[in-house]
Structure 1
Amino acid sequence: MPGCGPFPAVLVWGHGGLPAVTEIEYGRQKQLLRVRGRNVAWVPPLLLLAGIVLLDFNTTEHFRIITWIVLVPGSAAAICGVWTTGAFAALAVVTYVAVDSAWPGQYQAGLGDFVLVAVGGLMATFASAVRVRKEKQALHFQDIAETTRRTVLRPLPPRWAGLEQAGVYLAADVDARVGGDFYDIQPGPHGTRVFVGDVQGKGLAAVETAAALLGTFREAGYHEKDLATVAERLEIRMLRHRSHTTALGRDDGERFATAVLIGFPEDTEDTADTPDIIEIVNFGHEPPLAVGPHGVRELPSGDGLPLGLADLADGAPVVHRVPLAADETLLMVTDGVTEARDRTGGFYPLARDLASGDPACGGAGAGGAEPWELVRRVRDGVLRHSGGRLGDDTTAFAVRRIRQAGGEGGEQGGLRS
C-alpha cells in the first residue's frame, strides 16, 4: 500500500496526483475467494464434500454421516454463484447415492435422507440466486450513490487555475458512500476561489444541500469581484434551500453547513519570492493550515457562524487577508479528521502529526509539502489513529499556488475558463 501505516487504503474519492490504492476499499464487493486473479470459491465446498465421504467410509455402520453432504450445496450458496451451487447440489445427490449404495442394505441411510439431500440442494440453489440478486442490487445502488457524489464533487485537474491540488474523501457510511463533505475550485476573472465544507448530517439529503451550495459557489465565485459578496450569496442560498425543503415537508429546517471560502487574487505576482495575500472567510469550519518546510501554522479561523445560521450573528463573516508563503501549501480538513478518536477516546493530533517530519510519509518537517503528500499523510494518519473505524465522513483537501519564473501563461489563462 502506498503511504504509511498498517491499515489498507480506503480512498473512495481522490485525485490530484494521489497514488492509486488497492482493491481493499469501501465500495464495490469483490468475489470472496480469489488466488492470483482466479476464483477459487468452489474449493471449500469441494473439500467439505470429500471430507464427508472419507469420514463416512472410515466410520462404523453405527455412525453414518453421509447425510451431512447436504451442507455442501448450503456452503456453496454462501460463496459461489448460482450455477456452481446448482452443480454442487447435483454432485451431492449423485455422491450420496453412490456412497450409500456401497454399504450393505441394512446400513443404508435410505430414501428419506436422499429426499433431504435433494431438497436441501434445491433450497441452496434458490438461496444462492436470491443472494446474487441482492448483491447486484446493492452494487447498483452503490453505483447510483457514486454517480451522485461524482456529480456533486466534480473531478478536478491536478494542476488547474494556477493551483496544484489533491483531495481525498473517506466515507463513514460504507454502504451509502455519500455524505455532506465537499470541496471545489472555481477560476474566474477576479482570481481563483476555493470552497471546502461539511453539511450537517449524512446521506442523500446532505449531498443535496452540498450540491446547492456548490452550484452557487461556482456561479458567484466566477462573477462576483468581492469575496464577501460570494459569502453572502452562499448564506442566502443555504436559507433558500432550507425553506424549500421545509415546504416539501422534510425535516431540514435546522440543517446548516460549516465551510471555509478562500480567494487567491489574480493580481498576485507569480514569482517564487513573493508571498500571496489570500482572503479567507470561515463559516465555523476547521481553520486552514499552512504547511511548509518551516512547520505548520494555523490561519485565522474567524468568528463566522455556519452557513444557515447568519441570523444569530450581528453581521456577515469577516474577510481575513493573510500572507501565504511561496513554499507553503494550504491544507483544509473536515471535522472527521480532527474528531477521529482512538481506542482511548483521544482525538487525532493533526498539526502534530504533520509537523513530525517522517520522511517516509511526506511529513512537513521533512520538507515535503506537496498537496498529494499532505492528503496522503492525513488519510493514513486518521486510519492509523482510529484503527480504521471512521465515525464521520473524512475529507482532506490541499492546494498550492503554481509558481515559475515569469509566470505560467497556460495556467493563468485557465483563470478565465
Structure 2
Amino acid sequence: MADRRSVLGQLPHGGPPDAVQRQKPLRLRGRNAAWVPPLLLLVGIALLDANTSGRFRIISWVVVVPAVAAAICGVLGTMALGVLSLLTYGAVDTAWPHQYQTGLPDFILVLAGGVLATLACSLRVRGERRMLHMRDVAETTRRTVLRPMPPGWGGLDHAAVYLTADSEARVGGDFYDIQPGLHGTRLLLGDVQGKGLAAVEAAAALLGTFREAAYHERVLDTVAGRLEIRMLRHVRYCAAVGRDEADRFATGVLVAFPEETPATVEVINFGHEPPLVVTPDGVRRLPPGDGLPLGLSELTLAPPPVLRVPLAPGETLLLVTDGVTEARDAAGDFFPLRDALAKALARDPRTADPHLLVRFVCDATLDHCGGRLADDTTIFAVRRRARGGRGT
C-alpha cells in the first residue's frame, strides 16, 4: 500500500538544519554514523590482506571504500575515507616483500577511485539538496493552501485526513477550511475539477476568498456569491494569460454554524456529495440541494439555495470528496460509505467522535480500494464543542 500522508499530521520544520538531518541515513545515539560501514570495510580488507599469503593480495580492493562512502556520507567524509584508503594501501602494500607488492598501478587505481567517488558524492549531495528544497517549497504550498488548524478552532471539534492519488504529491485539487468570524463559524470543503498545479491554484484562490468573506459577511448567501465570483474571475484570468481553463469548476459544500441557533446549521451545496450526520444511533444524509458547481452560474439564473437543517449538540457532520464515494474494489463496486458507517456505529457508538470517525473512513476506504486511490481524497469531520470558541 502506498504511503499516505495526512495534512494535519506532524509538520516538519523547514530550513537548512532540517535538510542536513534528513540527509543522514545512519545515526548512532543522535550522531551521524554514516562513516562507520566504509571504515569497517577498510579495516576488514586491510586485515584480510595482512593475514593471507602473498599469492592472495586484495589490498587494492580498498578502492571500493570511497565508493561506498560516496553513497551514504557527505563530501568531506568521502574525501577523508578516500585519503585514508590511499594511506592504508601504501602502508599495507609496502609491508610486503618487493616481489609480492601490487605497486604503482594499483596505487593510481585507488587514487583515481577516491577522486571519482568524491566527485560523485558532490553530485549526489547537490541533487539531494535540490530535492529537499523542492520538498520544502511543496510543504510551504501545502500549508498555505491547507493550513493546520488548532484544536477547537471556531468552537468545533474537528479532524481531517487528506490523501493524494499521487503518493509523492503533497497537495491537489481538494480543499477545506474552518473560518471563525464576526457572525459565527463557517466551513468549506470542495474539489476542483481536474488535477495538477492548475487545480491547486484554483483551490488556493477559493480558499483565500472564503477566509475573508466567511469572517466578514453576515449572510451565508453573500459568502457563496463571493466564491462564485472568485471562480469566474480565476477562469477569466487564466484565459487572459493564455491558459485554456474555460471548463474549470469546483464542487463544494459551504456550512455555517450560527451562534443564535446552536441546534441548526446552514448549508449551501455546490453540486457536491451531501454531508452525512453521524450520531451514536446511526447515520442520516443531509438534503442534496440544487446548486451548480462554482464557476457554472452562467448556466442558471437562480443562486444555490440555503438549507437550514437540524444538527443537535453531539452530532458529527462528515464531509468527504469523491475519492471516498468513488473508491472501487477489484470487482469495480463503489465504496458503500453509509452502510459501512452504520455497521461501525452498531459495533461501537464511539465511532461518531470526529477523530475516530475520520480514522475509520480513511482505513475503510483504503481497504476497499486496496490502497489504490483513483482521485484525491479528503475526509473532514466536525462537531460543535460543548463550549464554543472563537478564533481569527
The TM-score range, normalised by the shorter chain, is 0.7 to 0.9
Change (3 A) 1:233 1:138: same
Tell me which amino acid in the other structure corresponds to 1:234: L
Unaligned runs of 5+ in 1: 1-6, 271-275
Work out whether residues 252 and 293 of structure 2, in 8 Å CA contact, stay in contact via their aligned partners in 1: yes
CA apart distance, 1:330: 0.7
Tell me which amino acid in the other structure corresponds to 2:211: R
Work out whether residues 289 and 296 of structure 1, in 8 Å CA contact, stay in contact via their aligned partners in 2: yes
CA apart distance, 1:390: 5.0
More moved, 319-328 vs 191-200? 319-328
CA apart distance, 1:31: 2.6
Q: How does 1:85-124 map to 2 (within 5 A)?
A: 85-124=78-117
Q: 2-side partners of 1:170 and 1:150: how far apart?
A: 14
More moved, 303-312 vs 244-253? 303-312
2:7 is aligned with 1:13: yes
Q: 2-side partners of 1:61 and 1:392: how far apart?
A: 65
In structure 2, the residue matched to 1:67 is: 60
CA apart distance, 1:212: 1.3
Fraction of identical pairs, as percent: 61
1:49 counterpart (39, 42, 49): 42
1:365 counterpart (344, 348, 353): 348
In structure 2, the residue matched to 1:206 is: 199
1:161-184 Cα distance to aligned partner (Å, 9 max, x none): 332222233345555523222211
CA apart distance, 1:153: 2.4
More moved, 178-187 vs 201-210? 201-210
More moved, 159-168 vs 87-96? 159-168
Tell me which amino acid in the other structure corresponds to 2:306: V
Q: What is the TM-score of this pair, normalised by structure 2? A: 0.84
Tell me which amino acid in the other structure corresponds to 1:92: S
Q: 2-side partners of 1:117 and 1:326: how far apart?
A: 74
Q: 2-side partners of 1:90 and 1:344: how far apart?
A: 61
Aligned residues: 386
Q: 2-side partners of 1:380 and 1:83: how far apart?
A: 45
1:49-77 Cα distance to aligned partner (Å, 9 max, x none): 34434554566655543333222111111
In structure 1, the residue matched to 2:162 is: 169
Change (3 A) 1:184 1:22: closer
Tell me which amino acid in the other structure corresponds to 1:241: H
Q: What is the TM-score of this pair, normalised by structure 1? A: 0.79
Work out whether residues 285 and 306 of structure 1, in 8 Å CA contact, stay in contact via their aligned partners in 2: yes
1:349-373 Cα distance to aligned partner (Å, 9 max, x none): 5444444438xxxx98332422222
Q: How does 1:30-49 map to 2 (within 5 A)?
A: 31-49=24-42
In structure 2, the residue matched to 1:273 is: none
Q: 2-side partners of 1:313 and 1:249: how far apart?
A: 27
2:312 is aligned with 1:325: yes
Change (3 A) 1:342 1:322: same
1:161-216 Cα distance to aligned partner (Å, 9 max, x none): 33222223334555552322221122334432210112234444333211211122
CA apart distance, 1:328: 1.3
Tell me which amino acid in the other structure corresponds to 2:187: V
CA apart distance, 1:244: 0.3
Q: How big is the alpha-carbon RMSD for the aligned residues of Structure 1 and Structure 2?
A: 3.4
In structure 2, the residue matched to 1:127 is: 120
Secondary structure at the counterpart of residue 193 of structure 2: strand
More moved, 134-143 vs 35-44? 35-44
Change (3 A) 1:88 1:383: farther
In structure 2, the residue matched to 1:4 is: none
2:383 is aligned with 1:400: yes
Tell me which amino acid in the other structure corresponds to 2:89: Y
In structure 1, the residue matched to 2:287 is: 300
In structure 2, the residue matched to 1:156 is: 149
Q: 2-side partners of 1:75 and 1:350: how far apart?
A: 51
More moved, 277-286 vs 75-84? 277-286
Q: How does 1:309-324 map to 2 (within 5 A)?
A: 309-313=296-300, 315-324=302-311
More moved, 325-334 vs 377-386? 377-386
2:359 counterpart (376, 397, 401): 376
Work out whether residues 165 and 372 of structure 1, in 8 Å CA contact, stay in contact via their aligned partners in 2: yes
